[in-house]
A and B are shown apart, each in its own frame.
Chain A
């Protein structure tokens, strides 16, 4: 089984430098058979980063990628609260740099119109777009998007694939929310390995719209791999979820950058 991990971070893992932390992630990834890691955000996070925070965190990812470009892909961390700097970071890190995707977190709800230039430019660059989402029973952060917010965004860009981070966490709700918006993909990462997530995702979305990720280092690779290894689905569907779907989304930008993977 070929495994790419959509969702990894440089936090929650030992190491004094970004490259050391990525080395550490890879050491454990090797033990559970993961071939490639997508990494985003730096060593110290901010829920509402300043423009300079964004640059600093992206610099840390670039530094880590510099050492491990054969095993890791980078996504540039952007914020809809800082459009000008986000667009310049997109140029620096993706158009003119080695990164292949965009990460949007919790600073601003993703349904706001201000975000549109980021999505439009990312789509031009063929970058993979990842938006964090949660439906938290005990309440979201102020700027934290729900899958419903993401559906509103996705309707404005119906031809642009966008990944629904965490599938909303409360996946029984998240899967229903995104089901009819066909350009949305479900990220399995970062929630407890509660039985049934993958089975319901395959049933409701089809295996072609589901992507394995871990949310390591805060999460183990193990608990998140179990969602696919332990699911009562076909081996062919597992392969799609573990690698093929993500690789399919990345191929246009990989080819554009001349990267073989």
Chain B
């Protein structure tokens, strides 16, 4: 096959639109971060960033929540940042091993009006079978708050040696969610192995796709995971935003699946 033949008979020219076309479908990105990362200098998520990537709405947590102990101040700064950028929806962080963490929950929900909360179990040093996690789910369920669990932030092989954390062990999750059936949980940065091993059949559980890997990875995941439980997430700016966008182009998805993953499922969640 010569090059002209290749270009004529493949979707080569379709590669550009997902990262550059002004008419591209707009997305809700469930997995963005603001604030300073502890050991990387990353681009700012600002209005220009959102516009460049056609992001209608982004659910933003804060990198500062990973290591800061004054998490109330982290959430306060996040709330202020999101007030200045209407496309950002703040996902405040709760650290379940801090004294009086329920006050942080109340401040996030009542003072800041947040309806998404983000947990970092590995960075904060607890497992999902910690009783406080079930308590948090009960509180969130009562207030109709979506709980995002960051299952991992970075490949263990490349982590800074002084901040090494393992992925969250998801095995207890299915049983815990049976005890709080109305709780809604979204796993961020889960990979396909984590999901297929432990979470098949779980209800009220959503995933983002930032760390769904392998050739045709999203398409393959959807052979065993319900489309309505998968949402677009980029893990930007830690990851190049284009990674998740191009995954949707690489996988063979119906137009209904595409719309659901890019926007519809996230819209329905809130």
> B42 near A: Cβ within 8 Å?
yes
Task: Tell me whether B238 and A195 are in contact (CB under 8 A).
Answer: yes
Determine if B228 is an interface residue (Cβ-Cβ < 8 Å).
no
Contact with B along A175-210 (1 / 0, CB 8 A): 000000000000000011111100000000000000
Tell me if A109 is interfacial: C-beta within 8 Å of chain B.
Answer: no
The reply to whether A31 and B242 contact each other, CB–CB distance below 8 Å, is no
Contact of A239 with B by CB under 8 A:
no
Of A40-48, A151-159, A215-223, the stretch lying at the interface with chain B is A215-223
Binds B, one of A80-88, A132-140, A249-257: A132-140
Determine the interface band of chain A, counting residues with CB < 8 A from chain B: 35 or more
- Expressed in whole angstroms, the minimum distance between the Cβ of B60 and any Cβ of chain A is 16
Q: How far is the CA of A30 from the CA of B19 in the complex (A)?
A: 16
Closest to A197 in B: B240
A56 to chain B, nearest CB (A): 23
Distance from A133 Cβ to chain B, minimum over Cβ atoms (Å): 12
Shortest C-beta distance, B268 to chain A (Å), equals 25
Q: Which of A59-67, A91-99, A116-124, A226-234 contacts B (4 or more CB under 8 A)?
A: A226-234
A114 adjacent to chain B (CB < 8 Å): no
B12 and A33 contact, CB distance less than 8 A: yes
What is the bound-complex CA distance between A232 and B154, given in angstroms? 22
Interface check B1, CB cutoff 8 A: yes
Q: A24 vs B211: C-alpha distance in the bound complex, in angstroms?
A: 21
A32: interface (CB < 8 Å): yes
B215/A226 in contact, CB under 8 A: no
Q: A138 near B157 (CB under 8 angstroms)? A: yes
Q: B243 interface residue, CB < 8 Å from A?
A: yes
Complex contact A195–B3 (CB within 8 A): no
The distance in angstroms between the C-alpha atoms of A1 and B11, with both chains bound, is 13
Q: In the complex, which residue of chain B has the Cβ closest to the Cβ of A232?
A: B43
Shortest A12–chain B CB gap in Å is 6
**Beta-carbon contact of A32 and B215 below 8 Å:** no
- Counting CB contacts under 8 A, is A35 at the interface? yes
Q: Across chains A and B, which 3 residue pairs bring their CB atoms closest together, nearest first?
A: A33-B15, A230-B240, A222-B246
